[in-house]
Amino acid sequence: MRESIKNGHLPKKTSELIFTILDSLDDEVSGAKAHAALAIEAGLTMKELVEAFVIVTLVKGINVLCKTGVEVIKAAEKRSEEIKLPKVVVKFMSDFETAIELMETQLGHNVELPLATCFNGGTSVRIVNGYYKDGAIYVMTHTSTHKMREININPNVSICKNLLEAWGVSENIGNPKDEKNKVLAKKLKEVFIAFYESHVNEDDSGCCILKITINKAIVFDEEAKYVIDYKNRTATKTPMKVDVIYQ
């Protein structure tokens, strides 16, 4: 069988790359390193090797890269240096960057969110349509609503989505037609296209954009919980198996 592969239709660098990835998935470090070196010798570039591991990471998770991938890439770099190939610097995402990417994935579109406000020593909760961007959640609303009246008294709010939780400070940043809001309003029209034209009256002076600046959040992926400190731009990662299924 190996002879048929050796004389097969795939270029040698491609077949060796496939062996490298498969061995990495099985945590066969020595085999993966050996095949990576052979792939480099056959003409595979470091950029191609790194891209292959990025693709595997997207599908199988970061553990493949952390457990075996790093050693394989180092071995390939060593071999490329021996045969004078250009070196590629591999940059790994920090826990904070990973957590922020999760926030963007889970909230960076039109999403229904329970929004909790403070009221007479207690709380009020209602569902709103929100959109997350650059550390803040945006909601189209009206100054006459209960939530805005409560926010005027106490701007501290919280939201959640499945396991995700976030706390922040809210503010009315004005009418979508205000000059300062034109770029943002254009984006919100695109995000909230399902209801914007029928439910948002920009000509009403009470129509406004609610901005919630997040200061703390808890977000999950399939393998960990991340507690995000937005002010200090840090995140604490706690490995765990998350197998909750939401309909």
pTM of the predicted model over 0.85: no
Is the pLDDT at 3 greater than 60? The verdict is: no
- Say what the pLDDT of residue 1 is: 47
pLDDT of residue 88: 58
197 has a pLDDT exceeding 90: yes
d(CA 107, CA 164): 10
Q: What is the pLDDT of residues 28-44, one digit of tens each?
A: 999 999 999 999 998 99
Q: What band does 99 get if pLDDT is binned at 50, 70 and 90?
A: very high
To the nearest whole number, what is the mean pLDDT of the chain? 90
Q: Give the C-alpha separation, 150 to 170, whole Å.
A: 11
Q: Tell me how far apart the alpha carbons of residues 111 and 127 are, in angstroms, rounded to a whole number.
A: 10
Angle at the Cα of 236 from the Cα atoms of 165 and 107, rounded to 5 degrees: 35
Per the document, the length of the chain is: 247
Query: At 59, is the pLDDT very low, low, confident or very high (cuts 50, 70, 90)?
Result: confident
Residues sharing a CB contact under 8 Å with residue 157, sequence separation 6 or more, in sequence order: 115, 116, 117, 118, 151, 167, 168, 169, 170, 212
Of the two residues 85 and 165, the one the predictor is more confident about is 165
Domains of the chain: 2-91 (1.20.1290.10), 101-239 (2.30.110.10)
Helix, strand, or coil here: 246?
A: coil
The predicted structure's pLDDT at residue 170: 97
Q: What is the DSSP letter of 11?
A: -
CA distance linking residue 219 with residue 97, whole number of Å: 12
- Give the pLDDT band (50/70/90) at residue 79: confident
153 in Cβ contact with 147 (< 8 Å)? no
R_g over Cα of the chain = 25
Contacts of 230 (CB under 8 A, 6+ apart): 135, 214, 215, 216, 217
Q: What is the per-residue pLDDT across 130-169, written as a single tens digit (0 to 9) for each?
A: 999 999 999 999 999 999 999 999 999 999 999 999 999 9
Q: At residue 42, what is the residue type?
A: A
